[in-house]
Chains A and B, each alone.
Chain A
Amino acid sequence: MTASQGSLGKLILFHKAAHDFLDRQHTSVAVHAALCWLATTEPPYSGGPRPVRRLRMPHELGSAVASTTGAGSDGRTPAISVLSLTSEEIVWQASDRSIWQMMLPEGRARSRPLPERQGAVSARRLTRTAAFLAGRKHERLRDEWLSHLAGENGRGLLRKDQYRAACGFLMAAVCLRLHDAAELAWQPLDAILASRFLSGLLVWGPVIVMIIAIVHHDGRWGLVADIADPLALGTFLSVAIHRGRKRRGIKLRKPGPRRSGE
Chain B
Amino acid sequence: MVVMDVLDVIMNAPTEDPAWGLRICDATGHGSGTVYPALDRLLKAGWIGDRWEEPPPPDRPARRFYSITSAGRAGYQEALTARAGRRRAWTARSPLTEEPAR
Q: A168 and B31 in contact (CB under 8 A), knowing A141-B36, A176-B40?
A: yes
A144 to B50, CA, bound (A): 11
**Shortest CB distance B38–A (Å):** 9
8 Å CB contact of A144 from B34, B60, B64: B64
- Give CA–CA (A237, B59) in the complex, Å: 59
A150 within 8 A of B: yes
In the assembled complex, the Cα of A88 lies from the Cα of B14 at a distance in Å of 22
Report B55 CB to chain A, min CB distance, Å: 14
- Tell me whether A146 and B37 are in contact in the complex, defined as CB-CB below 8 angstroms, given that A152-B22, A164-B31, A165-B32 are known contacts: no
Total A residues in contact with B, Cβ cutoff 8 Å = 26
Task: Specify the chain B residue showing the minimal Cβ separation from A127.
Answer: B32
Q: Across the A-B interface, how many residue pairs have beta carbons closer than 8 Å?
A: 71
Task: State whether B22 touches A175 (Cβ < 8 A).
Answer: no
Interface size on B, residues (CB 8 A): 21
- Cβ-defined partner of A167 (8 Å) among B33, B35, B60, B61: B33
Contact (A150, B37) CB under 8 Å given A144-B21, A168-B32:
no
| A147 adjacent to B21 (CB under 8 Å) | yes
Asked, given contacts A176-B40, A179-B37, whether A140 binds B64 with beta carbons under 8 Å apart, the answer is yes
The B19-58 residues at the A interface (CB cut-off 8 A) are 20-23, 25, 31-37, 40-41, 57
- Whether A151 and B22, one on each chain, are in contact in the complex, defined by CB atoms closer than 8 angstroms, is yes
Interface residues of A in 103-161 (CB under 8 A from B): 138, 140-141, 143-148, 150-152, 154-155, 157
A169 touching B40, Cβ below 8 Å: no
| A171 touches B (CB below 8 Å) | yes
State whether B63 touches A147 (Cβ < 8 A): yes
Instruction: Flag whether B62 is at the interface (Cβ < 8 A).
Output: yes
Instruction: Tell me the nearest residue of chain A to B59, going by C-beta.
Output: A154
A202 in contact (CB, < 8 A) = no
With an 8 A cutoff between CB atoms, is A172 at the interface? yes
A and B contact pairs by CB, cutoff 8 A, 16 listed: A140-B64, A144-B36, A145-B36, A147-B20, A147-B22, A147-B60, A147-B61, A152-B23, A154-B60, A164-B32, A165-B22, A168-B32, A168-B34, A172-B37, A175-B33, A179-B41
